[in-house]
Amino acid sequence: MSAADSEAEMAHVPWRRTRRWVFALLVAATTGLGMWTMFRILHVGGLTPLELAILALFSVTFGWIVIAFWSGVIGFTLTLAGRDPLSLARASSPRRPDDAQSRTALVMPIHNEDIERVAAGLEATCRDLPPITPERHIEAFVLSDSTNATVVAREKAVMATLQERLAGHCRLHYRHRDSNAGRKAGNLGDFCRRWGRHYDFMLVLDADSVMSGDTVHELITEMEANPRLGLLQTVPIPIRQDSLFGRANQFAAAVYSPMLATGLSFWQSDAANYFGHNAILRVEAFTRHAGLPELPGRPPLGGDILSHDFVEAALLRRAGWEVRMRTDLGGSFEEMPSHLLDYAKRDRRWVQGNLQHLRLLGGRGLHMLSRVHFLCGALAYLSSLIWLAILVVSTIDALMRALIEPNFFTSNAQLFPDWPIAPPNLIMPLLGGTLAMLLMPKVLGVCLALRRHPAQHGGRARLVASAVLEALFAMLIAPLMMVFHSRFVIEVLSGRTVAWDPQAREGRALPWREALRHTWPGTLAGALWAGITWWYTPTFFWWLTPVWLGLMLAAPLVRWSSSLTLGRGLRRRGLLLVPSETAPPSVLRESPQPLAMPSDGEPSPPPKERPRDMPTQSFTRDWARLPATERRTTLGK
């Protein structure tokens, strides 16, 4: 497939460039208005270097807020109207070609995981699949690159048992590779090189993923119906959360994520992103065009590309394949860390991976939206450091104004004083507008839930109460997450790398000692910050209340939000309820029975290998000038 052929096939996505330009103009105009307003506020009496720094930093963070705001507004409008974000027609399922035949592998890479938990989720997914037909064949692969010998032995025994239990439902294969080279991307690449020829599509699942059979078949149908589609991403929703922290995030994802994803899909269209799991890929396209190179230099910014998913999506789009997102599908689920410290630990890994993407912004031949994805992924964490810098610079500016005596006579020959000029009456409108844009996606998401399925959230009153509770909780933990993310960014930029260990998913209440050990620096900083501003500039102290209050309450927030008792108590009272609990699909409703472990289990071997190459791609060669045949096959270093 050539890029030109692909562009011709993409005509059924109407006004791709127009909608992107409209979105860009909306973002630019709104950001420009905010910058001009801030400039007018700061410009009174001339701009000092500190005020110029505040203006520059504010522009970045305000633009970040604006992107989310307009994505939410567009997503709300399309969802309310029942329109598909790509075709803009009434949402409907794709029609499967009459002669379609396909083979799909459900591929689950694992690394030192709790294998019983992994097996339970995979079994639920496989048992929910409709029967195999001659036209559509689905198999499952568990791809282990675990390094702990005890874990590997347990995996083999559990997988042997699971193969027996799934006989007649879904054929299951288990493979363990001795090398962890390339981490997850290397694990998937090994599958493509050894067994990729057997399959048309691979549906990538994380170790905590669960997906309904209907959703799996819907994804396969869309891949069969569109031969130019290289990757189709779903919107995974967290499930099975018991702690307050987990339940608040689970509620937020269930209410807001599909709407926001719809808005993103509208302007990203066929150049969407990839989350690394709960997505289906065309094996041929992925094998030919998504082989990742190593970045030159040493970790953390060199070496293996850690956040491989963004890069693989960019490489597929560069080769002319469509990368889309399905935002209307339910039945795509995942688990998440149950408390704030594990959540931050996961973010520490993502910070390193996403900052690597800044090195790829100038990659040859990349689609402009792929560059936007790289930049936004890094800004998701850099914005915390920028926000912290704004607060610090603003505090220094306020303290200097409070400590330095104003001089109204700047010249010896001056007859009249230079009285200070009051700033224009724009501070409250700017603050109110910023808060409105921050909160509007939440308000719109609640409005949609109130209109469509309030009963699945406990009823209208409980839905609104849950939304208020989640918003307050998010506001209180925001300063602590700002400090964590800022520290992570500084560590990566200073050369400190991190190990990518398996993610903890089992809920547990944190002891006070652990909560205090990780939060006391932020608490001390918040107390000093509050004390100094209260003593020297009380007015600014009150403006900083959300920040110092969140930092001073960091330890109690971490401790109490990890509480399973508190989270379950809220559930019993009908708060923070989500559809996966109140109206669960069959894949979540029917829990598999515990595995009866054999005494000496060994899984049956995978199918016969059909080796092929997976060319390593390049970001330095000029993609546009390569012959079409070379673009379709290999892009060596």
Task: Identify the weakest region by mean pLDDT among 2-11, 114-123, 174-183.
Answer: 2-11
pLDDT at position 112 is 93
The top-scoring range by mean pLDDT among 4-13, 165-174, 195-204 is 195-204
Enumerate residues 6+ apart whose C-beta is below 8 A from 385.
485, 486, 489, 490
Shortest CA distance to 190 belongs to which of 198, 179, 201? 179
Task: Give the integer Cα–Cα distance in Å for 16 and 369.
Answer: 12
Shortest CA distance to 367 belongs to which of 332, 408, 318, 425? 318
Confidence of residue 595 (pLDDT cuts 50, 70, 90): low
Q: 258 or 634: which carries more pLDDT confidence?
A: 258
Are 272 and 264 contacting, i.e. CB atoms less than 8 angstroms apart?
yes
Buried b (16+ CB within 10 A) or exposed e, 27-41: beebbeebbebbbeb
pLDDT at position 284 is 97
The pair of three-digit structure tokens given for residue 163, joined into one six-digit string: 């193969």
Confidence of residue 103 (pLDDT cuts 50, 70, 90): very high
Task: Give the integer Cα–Cα distance in Å for 457 and 464.
Answer: 9
Are 159 and 172 contacting, i.e. CB atoms less than 8 angstroms apart?
yes
Whether residue 273 has pLDDT greater than 90: yes
Average pLDDT over residues 164-192: 93
Task: Identify the weakest region by mean pLDDT among 123-137, 245-259, 419-433, 538-552.
Answer: 419-433
CA atoms within 13 A on the CB side of 3: 18
Average pLDDT over residues 209-223: 95
Identity (one letter) of the amino acid at 58? F
pLDDT at position 620 is 86
Q: Which residues on adjacent β-strands are paired with residue 238?
A: 334
The pair of three-digit structure tokens given for residue 206, joined into one six-digit string: 């994380």
What is the average pLDDT score of the chain?
Answer: 89
From residue 200, give the alpha-carbon distance in Å to each of 1, 197, 288, 490. 16, 8, 13, 43
Vertex 360: Cα angle to 618 and 65 (nearest 5): 150
The pair of three-digit structure tokens given for residue 550, joined into one six-digit string: 């969140």
Task: Identify the weakest region by mean pLDDT among 342-351, 422-431, 621-630.
Answer: 621-630
pLDDT at position 622 is 56
Whether residue 488 has pLDDT greater than 50: yes
pLDDT at position 621 is 67
Task: Give the integer Cα–Cα distance in Å for 562 and 159.
Answer: 32
User: Element (H or E) spanning 61, and its range?
Assistant: helix 49-81
pLDDT at position 509 is 87
- Scanning 85-212, the segments in alpha helix (DSSP H) are 115-127, 149-165, 183-195
Determine how many CB atoms are found less than 10 A away from the CB of residue 368: 9
Whether residue 142 has pLDDT greater than 70: yes
pLDDT at position 465 is 98
Are 499 and 555 contacting, i.e. CB atoms less than 8 angstroms apart?
no
Structural domain boundaries in the chain: 102-338
Determine how many CB atoms are found less than 10 A away from the CB of residue 135: 12
From residue 287, give the alpha-carbon distance in Å to each of 284, 312, 353, 405, 537. 5, 10, 22, 68, 61
36-48 pLDDT, tens per residue? 999 988 887 678 8
Identity (one letter) of the amino acid at 111? H
Are 188 and 204 contacting, i.e. CB atoms less than 8 angstroms apart?
yes
Whether residue 635 has pLDDT greater than 50: no
Angle between helices 368-403 and 460-493 (to 10 degrees): 90
CA 245 to chain centre: 17
Angle between helices 16-42 and 49-81 (to 10 degrees): 140
* pTM assigned to the model: 0.91
Dihedral sign for Cα atoms in the order 519, 525, 530, 535? positive
Task: Give the integer Cα–Cα distance in Å for 600 and 609.
Answer: 26
Are 439 and 252 contacting, i.e. CB atoms less than 8 angstroms apart?
no
355-390 pLDDT, tens per residue? 999 999 999 999 999 999 999 999 999 999 999 999
Buried b (16+ CB within 10 A) or exposed e, 290-310: bbbbebeeebbbeebbbbbbb
Are 235 and 332 contacting, i.e. CB atoms less than 8 angstroms apart?
yes
Task: Give the integer Cα–Cα distance in Å for 59 and 38.
Answer: 9
Average pLDDT over residues 273-285: 97
Dihedral sign for Cα atoms in the order 359, 364, 366, 368? positive
User: Element (H or E) spanning 484, and its range?
Assistant: helix 460-493
User: Element (H or E) spanning 38, and its range?
Assistant: helix 16-42
Vertex 513: Cα angle to 510 and 516 (nearest 5): 95
* Sheet (strand 237-238) strand order: 210-211, 332-334, 237-238
Are 313 and 323 contacting, i.e. CB atoms less than 8 angstroms apart?
yes
CA atoms within 13 A on the CB side of 590: 12
- Span 102-338 CATH architecture: Alpha-Beta Complex (3.90)
